[in-house]
Amino acid sequence: MPAVFSPVYIWDALDSKGVDYRVYGEPYYLSTEAYKLIVRNFGDRSEIARAFYARSMELSARVDRGKEFSNFVMSYYGRANKLADAVELLKDTVFTSGLSRIFTGGLILQRAISSNSKFRMDFAKFLYHYPFSYYTWDLNYSDLNRAKAWKEDFSRLLKEKKVPAFEYIWLPNDHTGGTNPNYLDPYKLVAQNDVALGYILETISKSSIWKNSLVLVEEDDAQNGPDHVDATRTVALAAGPYVKRGEVVSERYDQLSMLRTIEVILGINPLNLGDALAVPMFGIFTNKPDFRNYTPTAPSNFLAPSDIKLLNDLKTR
């Protein structure tokens, strides 16, 4: 909700440097970017900003993290993959009315999009960066289905030679639902998450961009499950031809180190003093690249039958 939005996010830094990117699944991109555009164009005291805020509070109370958006836009995938197409899509009154109700609870956003050409262009740019086929937060939606959606989008971008410099891929199901019977148990959800990540990494490693790729991974969430060192210690993984293979790097890094590493590689400015002073993850790299493909390990025995079927379907594609 707007009350807890950060002043700046990594996609803001990417925009400021003209670095292309794709955001797969992150609900905070949807909410923060839409609100930023509304405030920039109409002010934080405007009627549309107040409507957006009220709607955000309503959805937060329902623990909705973007499901309504995903359910609505999935059928529109392919109609906003280029900026010009996104601009045209915002002329579709059925689409804009649905979008408006999701973001503001009424038609005020639709009216703003139709009457203000600058705002319409800003909103088209916002939508262009988020693939409509990629489902956001929902523990009942398999990460393997997310991996499938990502693969389809990635394959299209490869064919068009337009893979962006930065991709933010959210595979949220390692969060798990604890003992809630409405979800798969934690073992099955983590197994599902691991297989989906392995599939994505394997796909990248067999692509034409592998020689220029770096994949950085951290878990969601790190605030639970304390170990013998620290209650917030977490796992970070890295993969790529210039990453040391099969090594455990014990140098002390934190989440800001990972962010700073990305910033250094892409040439974007730090978001604040925290990441500006963070130590980049230089210790993970080697000057002797290994261009071999990544081969995932066998799936865990905890993988649910439904996910075994999804994995088999993915492998036949």
Whole-number pLDDT of residue 185: 96
Local confidence pLDDT in tens for the 317 residues of the chain: 455 678 899 999 999 999 999 999 999 999 999 999 999 999 999 999 999 999 988 888 876 768 999 999 999 999 999 999 999 999 999 999 999 999 999 999 999 999 999 999 999 999 999 999 999 999 999 999 999 999 999 999 999 999 999 999 999 999 899 899 999 999 999 999 999 999 999 999 999 999 999 999 998 766 566 666 777 778 899 999 999 999 999 999 999 999 999 999 999 999 999 999 999 999 999 999 999 999 999 999 999 999 999 999 998 87
pTM of the model: 0.95
Whole-number pLDDT of residue 223: 59
Whole-number pLDDT of residue 64: 73
Whole-number pLDDT of residue 85: 97
Three state DSSP letters for the chain? CHHHCCCCCHHHHHHHHCCCEEEECCHHHHHHHHHHHHHHHHCCCCHHHHHHHHHHHHHHHCCCCCHHHHHHHHHHCCCCCCHHHHHHHCCCHHHHHHHHHHHHCCCHHHHHHHHCHHHHHHHHHHHHCCCCCCCCCCCCCCHHHHHHHHHHHHHHHHHHCCCCCEEEECCHHHHCCCCCCCCCCHHHHHHHHHHHHHHHHHHHHCCCCHHHCCEEEECCCCCCCCCCCCCCCCCEEEECCCECCCCCCCCCCCHHHHHHHHHHHHCCCCCCHHHHCCCCCHHHECCCCCCCCCCCCCCCCCCCHHHHHHHHHHHCC
